[in-house]
Amino acid sequence: MSQEGKIRDFKDLVAWQKAHSLAVEIYKATENFPKNEQFGLTNQIRRASVSVASNIAEGFGRRTGADRVHFYDMARGSLHETQAQLLIAKDVGFLSEDAYTNIEAMSTECHKLLTGLINKTRTLNS
């Protein structure tokens, strides 16, 4: 973040930072998924988690508030997809209860921050 505390880049957004951390954690957690899932759940959950951070970054780069909110909403949709896939991974035994609990907590924090970002962006542009 700049010295004045202003957000100048998508990397300054706490929502993006947490989404980035979530994606990195999911990549690490899926390293031990069965090899026959490489093009199944492993790929799906990784792509969904990367999409969260990517859509936040893309939204930040948009010129209008409506465009920004659109991409932030897409990020929230990808986050829900990630959460559903995490639950499946746990329920089929690919993720331990502890790993699931940790990653789910990270995703919940991302959701709260993303919702706040959406609400703030809507408020600033109404």
**pLDDT per residue as tens digits for the range 14-71:** 999 999 999 999 999 999 999 998 889 999 999 999 999 999 999 999 999 999 999 9
CB neighbours (10 Å) of residue 75? 26
The full set of domain ranges for the chain reads 12-124
The CATH homologous superfamily for domain 12-124 is: 23S rRNA-intervening sequence (1.20.1440.60)
Work out the widest C-alpha separation in the chain, in whole angstroms.
50
| pLDDT at 78 > cutoff 90 | yes
pLDDT of residue 4: 59
CB neighbours (10 Å) of residue 38? 11
| pLDDT at 1 > cutoff 70 | no
